Amino acid sequence: MGDKANLTEERIRAIPAPATGEYVLWDSKISGFGVRCFPSGRKVFILMYRPAGGGRAAPKRRMTLGEFEKVKLGAARSAAQNYLGQIATGADPQADRKAVARREASRLDRALESYELHLKRRHVVHAEQIIRNLKRYMPGPIDQMDLASVDRQLMAARIAKIEEQSVKDTAMRTTAKAAGGVKENISKVKRKVGGPGAAADFRTKAHTFFNWAVGRGLIYANPLAGWRRERVTRAQMTGRTGRALSDAEIKKVWDGCGQVVEPYGDFIRILILTGQRRTETSLIRWQDIDAGGATWTIPAAVAKNGRQHAVPLALEAREIIGRQSRLAGNPYVFAGRNTGSAISNWTKRQAKLVEVSGVSFTLHDLRRTFRSGLRRLGVDSELAEMMMNHAREELVEIYDREPKTDERRAAADLWAAHVQRIAEPSSDAPNVIPMVARSSG
């Protein structure tokens, strides 16, 4: 309901709040202009109109011109007269305002801000890192880019550029290593592109982001929908980097661990025995080891895939962890040089280990060695993947929640016994090691 009067600020202040619903007092001077009052006491200026050309059959549209007290009556009345002038010439100011709002919401930087809030509401562990990577590699400048203008051609060109840069950076690392300036040059490369896997990682994260944008109505279709990676050629397969160490090389590396500055040697031995990622392993805290020392739990916030992961520790691994020094104020098992920090500076430490062991390898090669070794010892592939905290197929992940704790512990003991027999041939490790029973799933 509503009445009509010559609006003044005193008259608007005197309007009582309706008990229910709303009350509108229309201005007698400007047609369609009024003040809308709510039970809460809130009052806002409005303009009711029909678009030009539609006649009385056209649906009425209502625009909000600001909240009373925050916006003066004179300013609201001037805005109403301005909009009525536009309407008379055929414009539709409410539709124009909505179009502007849609453009603002679909601006790439605004969309990424909304997506970050969405990830945090869902408690996605690496939300900030995901957004940081998207902002880094998305076509830009992102504050001037309309999300709807980011099409497949633009994304394909962007991803191809990242892949090409990765190839160049790999060549730079090789040159830097040969020149002896490894640390300085590699740090420059990392700041520039972020590693050879940057293109694949960006493509995956961007695909998920675009799916979210489709669901929010910001775009009509995912520009990466249906995009498949090119099949790996035989030449690419033979040229892949990374390898699994042989038993003889494992012994050389194990022995070499005793000739480098601790705790790096023991850190490497834990990588060999558990097959976990180097960063996750470097961040082992004393509180992550259970009371009996038999299980190390990697928190979701530390795990690469955001899933908490329980790592069974064989006796050999427990002994290595147990002999580490507990430094006051430092929560980490493998403590760094700085107070409260974890072990780091891989490049310099690894170069020394490669030198004393005579084996050229990367830290990720130890993870490949663990996975290949489990398979060679007869461990079921699914069980081995669980031990490495690899993501499983979606349906398996949803319905199979069996942790297979006993089977994983038996596999960890099996691998540790194999490593012990290699590293210390005269040890009491049995010459014949029983196979781990294959899981039926």
- pLDDT tens profile 411-422: 999 999 999 999
Residue 219 has pLDDT above 90, yes or no: no
pLDDT digits (tens, 9 = 90+) for 334-357: 988 777 788 888 778 899 999 999
Contact 275, 371 (CB under 8 A): yes
The predicted pLDDT at position 437 comes to 38
The predicted pLDDT at position 201 comes to 86
Higher pLDDT, 86 or 211: 211
Using alpha carbons, select from 244, 246, 239 the residue that is nearest to residue 196.
239
The predicted pLDDT at position 431 comes to 43
Q: How far apart are CA 42 and CA 299, in angstroms?
A: 48
Mean pLDDT of 182-193: 47
The predicted pLDDT at position 347 comes to 77
Outline where DSSP puts E strands in 288-383.
Answer: 295-298, 309-312
Contact 46, 36 (CB under 8 A): yes
The predicted pLDDT at position 399 comes to 44
Mean pLDDT of 142-146: 82
CATH architecture of 247-423: Orthogonal Bundle (1.10)
Q: Please, how many CA atoms are within 13 Å of residue 286, restricted to the half-sphere of its CB?
A: 13
pLDDT band (50, 70, 90) for residue 190: very low
The predicted pLDDT at position 356 comes to 93
Q: What is the rounded average pLDDT for all residues in the chain?
A: 82
Q: Measure CA of the first residue to CA of the last residue in the chain; give whole Å.
A: 68
Q: What is the DSSP string of 148-176?
A: GG--HHHHHHHHHHHHHHHHHHHHHHHHH
Residue 436 has pLDDT above 50, yes or no: no
Mean pLDDT of 6-19: 92
pLDDT band (50, 70, 90) for residue 441: very low
Domain ranges in the chain are 2-101, 108-227, 247-423
pLDDT digits (tens, 9 = 90+) for 27-41: 998 989 999 999 999
Omega before residue 141 within 30° of 0, cis: yes
Please list the alpha-helical segments (H only) found in 15-66: none
Residue 186 has pLDDT above 50, yes or no: no
The predicted pLDDT at position 53 comes to 66
Residue 440 has pLDDT above 50, yes or no: no
Mean pLDDT of 245-256: 94
Which residue bears the tokens 């990830």? 119
Residue 315 has pLDDT above 80, yes or no: yes
Higher pLDDT, 344 or 265: 265
43: β partners? 37
Could you tell me what percent of the chain has a pLDDT over 70? 80
The predicted pLDDT at position 142 comes to 83
Pick the CATH number of 2-101 from 3.50.50.60, 3.30.499.10, 3.30.160.390, 3.20.20.70: 3.30.160.390
pLDDT digits (tens, 9 = 90+) for 83-121: 888 888 878 777 777 766 666 667 888 889 999 999 988
